[in-house]
A and B are shown apart, each in its own frame.
Chain A
Amino acid sequence: MSFFGFDPTKPDSGRGSGRRQRDKKAEKPLDFEETYQGFGEHDQEEDDYLNDETFGNATELGTDFDFGYGKGSLESDVAPKSYADHGRSYASAAVAGPPSGQTGYGAAAVQGLDDGLDFKPMESLWTNQPMSMPMPQQFQQPQLPQHPQHPQQVLSMEQLERQQRQQQQQMGIPAQQQGFVGMPPQQDMKPMGYGYSPQGYMPQIHQMQGGGFPNQPQSFPPQAVPPQNMGTHQYQPMPLMFNRQMEPHQHPQQQVASPPSNQQQHLPVQQQLPQQSIPIGLSPQAQELGPQQQQQQSQQGSNFPVQMDSTRNSASPRSQALSPPHTPRDSNSRNGRRGSMRRQQEPLTEEEHKRLQIRQAKVDKILRHSGVMTPRDKDFITRYQLSQIVTDDPYNEDFYFQVYKIIQRGGVVGESNKGLIARAYLEHSGHRLGGRYKRADVALQRMQSQVEKAVTVAKERPQKNKENFDGAKEGVLGKISSTMNSKAPRRQLQIPTQKSEDDESNAAAIDEVVESLNGVELSSASKARRRSSYAFRTMDQSAVLCRSGGRKFVLSLIESVYSEVLELEAQLRSGKSIDNKALWDALHVADDSYEVSPFISILSFDKGVKIMPRILNFLDKAQKLRLLTLFFSELSHLNIIVTSSYKTNPHPTDVQLKKIELFQSVFLKIIVSFLSSSAEFLEVISLLLALIKDNNVSFISTSKIGLNLITVLISRAALIKQDINRGTVLSSSEISTWNEIYDKLFTALETRLALVFPPEEYTNRVVAISSSPSLLSANGEQTAKNHYYDHSYIWQFFASLALSGKLNHQRVIIDEIRDEIFGTISKAEELAKSTTVDEQVALYQRDKMYQDLNLFLNVMGLVARDGEITELK
């Protein structure tokens, strides 16, 4: 039997010098006595398989072990042998245990020695497919069932099968015998046991080659042998192997019997080496023996092979017939393969050679550590790594990343989380191109299934922890602490958790202290609410806070509001129905037990303001209206009003101005959108009523925010009124209510309308702060001329006030703010004349001033232009 179409029955023709050499050898029997060093004369322990290798007995101190594709082989050009073993691992070798039936190797080895040497280069070496070496083929083929992970075959399966069939026909071998690699059909030596236990051949040969075995009995260093041609390189290590591969304890009888002959055999080999580069002669054995020998080679090199005897004695004539099937040497076998290979025998040019070497080096580098782990091992590791990362609830555990990506993509939900992880892992592992077959999609699918499995593992994990069950796999890849891991990192601050009761009583105590210290006049110690706040004009925020439950309480309230909102948003994402009751309760809008509603105090904090739009998303209209009514009726308590009023806060700081800005951009927007989208006329009026009834309107009007709020309400009411005038008729009761409320508002503001304008000192300060990053810097005044205080909100207020008012109202307004009107005009004219500032800026400012002023004047049919007020045409 043979592979690759080799016909063992034909006389071998392609052996030139090799045969001569063999003949020579045959004439001169080996004298083993001369080389044998007695290594095999002591008993070996049973099953100390790879012992020396494991404990490094056979190596010098400081040797770098290389469990991958050895460095040695890299240095020595090529050693494709190792390719055969990628799927193998130490583990599998160990499990397999020492192989049996090794006599065959001895026999084969002798045959190999006896066989003529062929110095033609190995075809496989010259292919562009580094993986497709003859040896792998030889070994792989029968082992295919056991080694599905070895896909490289130069020959297609069909070809191989065809060849096998042919050979079977020729030789009449039962098919099952093909399982024995290189087993010659005529072979009658039972002990040769070619029934490979296929498991254990490993690429350690390269280690040896690297010179890690000082006690090898060899007289020639493998590297020193001058290679006759490229093809022989790979077999240089073989002699070494050959010498050490045999384990005495496995073949005790033979040991005893054979040493002399073995050594005899050996001698000529060594002698030949210098001139002939013997390795090729040995290679076939190495190939054949591979699986077991390579296991054995890792044992002490001292066990001189004994098994050779059998062949020595009996097989010399047969060896010719035996050897061809195992070896690629024979021309027939080569021919058989050649058909499917590229032209190989042609001499390579220098350039090709170089390229090949470079290529080979690359491949070697890649393969250097390949095969250390089996794909199964890798899968296992990958799954465990992944299981630490993946989660089946990405929006909960990987919230930031998920939402951030959605925001970045503009709200489009992209690839699934698992897909992303799979992709990322593929890229890191370098398999994104899909390996040899360039099947990137397959690789991705595989990784995705890995992720899927990992998710399952991740799901199981918390349960394990719960049961306090240390799963066998837990912490396989290092200790995974249950108290401290990536999901629960160590905390820098350990905050003792107090009971909520203590909390409340503490807060209450603090409140009392604060109250007494501030001397805030309270109508009573009872919690009777006193929400109207004419008298209340303190800047002291803590007083307000303490009246609504204390700073701590409000802050915790904000947090609970946040968590409710987050919860609701999570529900929204998962498509569940939404229940906002908890949120509504957390807002304490309906809670009357505090003097100042906690909701108002929530708005004292930036984060409380920022959450408002998200809160309103979850409230229905009635709730929104209720919330806004509360807001307007307790406006005076609102910290931002106090801050933004020039009366209570004549010297605003940078931070405060930013706060005002924030409030305006966030909360005012909500109110405007609510009013303009869904509020009915009466609802707007009721909000205005709440504002007028419970607050000091005059005080509120001195603050920018307050004035804006009033403006929004009355202008919205006016707009609805106009709309309705066009369409459905407003009921008379509604109109009368509106007029009534307007009168009230106007009365509250009358005689104080001029106070709406902040004093120049204040505006200058605001301008200075907002225009320069550092407060009140030296050039503050200069920039003040470029940036000026925006009065437009004031003119908007007067415009809407005048719009809804009757003629007498308008007259009162003009009377009261006459000075401001003319002051603005004269200022604008001054700006135009002034030469100190940039002309364009001045012109722009002037136009802006007129524009703002005309907002108001136009309502009454007037227009201010070029320093004069005329009738609007």
Chain B
Amino acid sequence: MLFFSFFKTLVDQEVTVELKNDIELKGTLKSVDQFLNLKLDNISCSNEAKYPHLSSVRNIFIRGSTVRYVYVDKNMVDTNLLQDAARREAMSAKK
């Protein structure tokens, strides 16, 4: 649940999602579920020339398994808290 929990805090923030097919989409994260499927709003594609079909798309639902990276602004992440959360996760996994 750590990643789900983490991504929930990014809702309504602007993120860049790189897909496994190299498409990079920037948009506002609207929703995330336990499969880490993402819903983006107001998307823009970083390489519009290559993927012109995305220029007319405003919001998009991305299947979680197709995501390679999610780029996040540094100050959206509380790294110390994230460390704690990761430790908790590890602790509960051990139990």
Residues of A within 8 A of B (CB): 385, 388-389, 391, 396-405, 407, 424, 428, 485-489, 559, 562-563, 566-567, 607, 610
Report if A566-B9 is in contact (Cβ < 8 Å); known contacts: A389-B33, A400-B2, A404-B81: no
When the two chains form their complex, are residues A400 and B80 in contact, meaning their CB atoms are under 8 A apart? Answer: no
When the two chains form their complex, are residues B34 and A403 in contact, meaning their CB atoms are under 8 A apart? Answer: no
Residues of B within 8 A of A485 (CB): 34
Interface flag for B49 (CB, 8 Å): no
Residues of B within 8 A of A (CB): 1-6, 8-9, 31, 33-35, 78, 80-85, 87-89, 91-93
Contact of A563 among B8, B35, B85, B87 (CB under 8 A): B87
Bound: A750/B35 CA distance, A? 67
Report if A397-B87 is in contact (Cβ < 8 Å); known contacts: A389-B33, A389-B34: no
Report if A400-B81 is in contact (Cβ < 8 Å); known contacts: A405-B9, A486-B4, A563-B87: yes
Bound: A385/B89 CA distance, A? 22
If A397-B1, A424-B31 are given as contacts, then 16 extra A-B residue pairs at C-beta distance below 8 Å, sorted by A number, are A385-B33, A391-B1, A399-B2, A399-B88, A400-B2, A400-B6, A400-B82, A400-B84, A401-B8, A401-B9, A402-B5, A404-B81, A407-B78, A487-B1, A563-B87, A566-B91
Among B5, B83, B92, chain A packs the most CB atoms within 10 A around the CB of B5
Residues of A within 8 A of B35 (CB): 486
Bound: A489/B8 CA distance, A? 17
Residues of B within 8 A of A428 (CB): 31
Q: What are 20 inter-chain pairs, A to B, with CB distance below 8 A?
A: A389-B33, A391-B1, A396-B88, A397-B5, A398-B1, A399-B88, A399-B89, A400-B81, A400-B85, A401-B6, A401-B8, A403-B85, A404-B81, A407-B78, A407-B81, A488-B93, A562-B84, A563-B91, A567-B91, A607-B83
Report if A562-B87 is in contact (Cβ < 8 Å); known contacts: A391-B1, A400-B2: yes
How many A-B pairs have beta carbons closer than 8 Å: the answer is 65
Distance (whole angstroms) from the CB of B2 to the closest CB of chain A: 7
When the two chains form their complex, are residues B9 and A400 in contact, meaning their CB atoms are under 8 A apart? Answer: yes
Among A401, A407, A487, chain B packs the most CB atoms within 10 A around the CB of A401
Q: Which residue of A lies closest to B34 (CB)?
A: A486
Q: Which residue of B lies closest to A559 (CB)?
A: B87
Bound: A388/B92 CA distance, A? 17
Residues of A within 8 A of B1 (CB): 391, 397-398, 486-487
Q: Which residue of A lies closest to B4 (CB)?
A: A486
When the two chains form their complex, are residues A401 and B5 in contact, meaning their CB atoms are under 8 A apart? Answer: yes
Distance (whole angstroms) from the CB of A513 to the closest CB of chain B: 29
Report if A399-B91 is in contact (Cβ < 8 Å); known contacts: A389-B4, A407-B78: no
Residues of B within 8 A of A610 (CB): 80
Distance (whole angstroms) from the CB of B16 to the closest CB of chain A: 20
Residues of B within 8 A of A399 (CB): 2, 5, 84-85, 88-89
Bound: A779/B87 CA distance, A? 43
Bound: A385/B37 CA distance, A? 13
Bound: A485/B36 CA distance, A? 11
Residues of A within 8 A of B9 (CB): 400-401, 404-405
Residues of A within 8 A of B78 (CB): 404, 407
Bound: A643/B82 CA distance, A? 29
Bound: A391/B5 CA distance, A? 12
Q: Which residue of B lies closest to A420 (CB)?
A: B8
When the two chains form their complex, are residues B81 and A403 in contact, meaning their CB atoms are under 8 A apart? Answer: yes
Distance (whole angstroms) from the CB of A496 to the closest CB of chain B: 14
Q: Which residue of A lies closest to B35 (CB)?
A: A486
Distance (whole angstroms) from the CB of B81 to the closest CB of chain A: 6
Bound: A563/B83 CA distance, A? 11
When the two chains form their complex, are residues B31 and A397 in contact, meaning their CB atoms are under 8 A apart? Answer: no
Bound: A816/B78 CA distance, A? 48
Distance (whole angstroms) from the CB of B36 to the closest CB of chain A: 8
Report if A396-B87 is in contact (Cβ < 8 Å); known contacts: A424-B31, A486-B4: no
Bound: A428/B9 CA distance, A? 17
Distance (whole angstroms) from the CB of A7 to the closest CB of chain B: 55
Among B1, B2, B31, B83, chain A packs the most CB atoms within 10 A around the CB of B1
When the two chains form their complex, are residues A566 and B6 in contact, meaning their CB atoms are under 8 A apart? Answer: no
Q: Which residue of B lies closest to A395 (CB)?
A: B88
Distance (whole angstroms) from the CB of A218 to the closest CB of chain B: 41
When the two chains form their complex, are residues B87 and A398 in contact, meaning their CB atoms are under 8 A apart? Answer: no
Distance (whole angstroms) from the CB of B38 to the closest CB of chain A: 13
Residues of B within 8 A of A424 (CB): 31
Bound: A486/B31 CA distance, A? 16
Residues of A within 8 A of B88 (CB): 396, 399, 566
Residues of B within 8 A of A407 (CB): 78, 81
Contact of B92 among A397, A400, A486 (CB under 8 A): A397
Residues of A within 8 A of B93 (CB): 488
Bound: A806/B81 CA distance, A? 50
7 cross-chain pairs, A with B, having the tightest CB-CB distances, nearest first: A486-B34, A400-B85, A401-B5, A400-B5, A404-B9, A401-B8, A399-B85
Contact of B34 among A388, A402, A562, A567 (CB under 8 A): A388
When the two chains form their complex, are residues B3 and A489 in contact, meaning their CB atoms are under 8 A apart? Answer: yes
Q: Which residue of A lies closest to B33 (CB)?
A: A389
Distance (whole angstroms) from the CB of B76 to the closest CB of chain A: 10
Distance (whole angstroms) from the CB of B4 to the closest CB of chain A: 6
Q: Which residue of A lies closest to B64 (CB)?
A: A486
Distance (whole angstroms) from the CB of A390 to the closest CB of chain B: 10
Distance (whole angstroms) from the CB of A102 to the closest CB of chain B: 46
Report if A566-B84 is in contact (Cβ < 8 Å); known contacts: A388-B34, A487-B1, A489-B3: yes
Q: Which residue of A lies closest to B1 (CB)?
A: A397
Bound: A86/B49 CA distance, A? 45
Distance (whole angstroms) from the CB of A469 to the closest CB of chain B: 21
Bound: A567/B88 CA distance, A? 9
Distance (whole angstroms) from the CB of A424 to the closest CB of chain B: 7
When the two chains form their complex, are residues B87 and A566 in contact, meaning their CB atoms are under 8 A apart? Answer: yes
Residues of B within 8 A of A396 (CB): 88, 92
Distance (whole angstroms) from the CB of A106 to the closest CB of chain B: 49
Q: Which residue of A lies closest to B78 (CB)?
A: A404
Bound: A391/B81 CA distance, A? 20
Residues of A within 8 A of B82 (CB): 400
Bound: A138/B33 CA distance, A? 43
Q: Which residue of A lies closest to B7 (CB)?
A: A401
Bound: A802/B6 CA distance, A? 53
Bound: A486/B89 CA distance, A? 12
